[in-house]
Amino acid sequence: MKRLLTRNSLGAAVALLAITSVCNSARAADCNISDARSRVNLNVPAVVQLPINTGSAASGTVLYRKEAPLSVLTGMHKNIDMSCLDAARKRLTGRIPSAQSGKNIFNTNIDGLGLRITVMYHTPDGAQKSWTLPFDATVIDLNNKTISTDDISLRLEVIKTGTVNTSNTMEFRVPYLVALADNLMVVSLTMKVMAAKSFCAIQVANPQVTLPPIEASELAKNSDPTAYPVDISLNCINTQKASINIEGLVDLAKPSIFKNVADDAAASGVGIQMLYNNSVMLPGQAMAISLPMQQNNFALPLTIRYAKTNDKITGGQVKSQITLRINYL
């Protein structure tokens, strides 16, 4: 009788062990995260249009900033099953394969531009956690079962770190930017940086230029009177070509000379000429501007002078109005 009970007990123990083994196998099958179908691979495409103040902005200026959930950035709503992971494996990591050019700012392959990326997680209770790359954070307090691409957001910031050298579109890619728990979710970044649009603006310190007086008799016998500088500069960004032309009311017989339009005590036989780099300008005829490497606030070689329209000159006031036009691309 004892021997029979022993056999029954042994048989029951073997049966229990077999059942336990079957249960463990079933759980392993349910939690097979090596299955490619259970992983979420995302790519964040970002197009950065540099602003027109890129050249003049100080180092450290944030030139571009975008913040949104992964579902918005990637256009994909995905759920990530966390139920199979034990606490030790619930980690969120952020990495970027480049040298730092400042605190949490990383170099890109574009001179003068750095990248700062912050990851944010919105907890089920409404709170928010954030980490700036690089980081390796325990996320044991994440939802125990499922999180979605709506729960995790990225903040992308492009920061000026020096002289920006880009005249066209450039791209770079950062694989494995953010990874979640045994690569259950992997986020990569593809960023396209577009140079600032061409832009030029005239900077005029004083729109009215006053010339020193000159004797009428001296001007009458002088075919090349003194020219005086005009304090006008040009502020351009990412400009490949530029030219300048002038407009205004001119003497019909001598179209390079702007008419004297003074109302009171006007002089006769005299007007005003404008010169660019010592060459007399003509309305309607553009003159090419030699653009320097540094296009911020560079002076234009403009001068003005008295010019006679007649051999007989009488003294008085001289006033002319000249409009400058800048063409650029």
Q: What is the CATH number of the domain that holds 286?
A: 2.60.40.1090
Higher local confidence (pLDDT), 71 or 104: 71
Rounded mean pLDDT, 171-180: 87
Question: Are residues 169 and 218 located together in one domain of the fold?
Answer: no
Q: What is the mean pLDDT of the chain?
A: 82
Q: In the predicted model, is pLDDT for residue 275 greater than 70?
A: yes
Per residue in 186-213, pLDDT (tens digit) is: 999 999 988 777 788 898 988 899 999 9
Same domain, 180 and 253: no
Residues 135 and 238 both lie in one domain: no
* Domain interval for residue 145: 33-194
pLDDT at 86: 57
Higher pLDDT, 139 or 289: 289
H/E segment holding residue 9 = helix 2-30
pLDDT, position 185: 87
Query: What tens digit of pLDDT does each residue of 74-115 get?
Result: 999 988 776 665 554 567 888 877 777 777 898 888 888 999
Q: How confident is the model at residue 11 (pLDDT cuts 50, 70, 90)?
A: very low
List, in sequence order, the alpha helices (H) in 138-291. 216-221
Distance between CA atoms of residues 164 and 238, nearest Å: 10
Residue at which a domain ends, from 135, 160, 194: 194
Residue 6 lies in a domain: no
Nearest-5° angle of CA 237, CA 240, CA 243?
95
Query: By the 8 A CB rule, do 179 and 187 touch?
Result: yes
297 and 204 in one domain?
A: yes
Indicate which CATH number applies to the domain containing 89. 2.60.40
Q: Compute φ and ψ for 11, nearest 5 degrees.
A: -65, -40
Domain end point (choices 166, 194, 222) = 194
- Number of domains observed in the structure of the chain: 2
pLDDT value of residue 89 = 58
pLDDT above 60 (res 35): no
Residues 141 and 110 reside in one and the same domain: yes
Among residues 194, 217, 232, the one where a domain terminates is 194
- Can you give the pLDDT at residue 14? 33
DSSP conformational letter for 37: G
